[in-house]
Amino acid sequence: MFEKAGGKNPETIAVIRHPVEWRSSWYRYRNRHSLVGHENSTRNVKFNEFVLEYCKDDPAAFAAVGSQSAFVFDHHGKRATTHLFAYEHQPALIAFLEQRLDTTITLKQLNVSPTIPTVIDPEVEAHLRAAKPLEFAAYDEAMSTSA
């Protein structure tokens, strides 16, 4: 669209969490008290069940959380993001943005999920890896480019 209008493609940035940790965060966030009784609530769902439901083509509402890799790769599996950072390497992201924006950035912690255990069984993680390989590919690429 930008090229057709006579401009250049904009640079894009994505920040990617480890696929299991990302799902853990969603699971805990949807476990909060304010969602009890809502179709998105994970209050009565075990973490392994949440992950297995997420892997389905049409997951239940509580597990429909989208895809990180959709922000990284196009529909052909080719990387479409100009700059990619791992969530664990936020200092690299902040340094990049501060340099580009010529300003100091101080982040506040918002949307903190409740603290509850989210242990994943090895066979469930293996199923997640097999069902969603682009999620792990995006994270691996982020780890290799933002260290």
The rounded mean pLDDT for the chain is: 91
- Residue 48 maps to a domain: yes
Q: Is the residue at 4 inside a domain?
A: no
From 83, 65, 67, select the one nearest 75 (Cα to Cα): 67
CB 21 within 8 A of CB 139: no
Query: So what's the pLDDT on residue 114?
Result: 75
Rounded to an integer, what distance in angstroms lies between the CA atom of residue 135 and that of residue 66? Answer: 11
pLDDT tens-digit map of 36-90: 999 999 999 999 999 999 999 999 999 999 999 999 999 898 998 999 999 999 8
In a domain, 113, yes or no: yes
Q: What is the pLDDT of residue 146?
A: 66
Residue 96's pLDDT band, with cuts at 50, 70 and 90, is: very high
Residue 137 has pLDDT above 90, yes or no: yes
Domain region containing 56: 13-145
Q: What is the β-pairing status of strands 83-86 and 13-16? A: parallel
| Per-residue pLDDT at 97 | 94
Give Cα 13 distance to the centre of its chain.
13
Domain annotation covers residue 8: no
Predicted pLDDT of residue 109: 82
What predicted TM-score, i.e. pTM, was given to this entire model?
A: 0.86
Q: Is residue 114 part of a domain?
A: yes
Q: What is the pLDDT of residue 110?
A: 80
Does residue 6 belong to any structural domain of this protein?
no
Total structural domains in the chain? 1
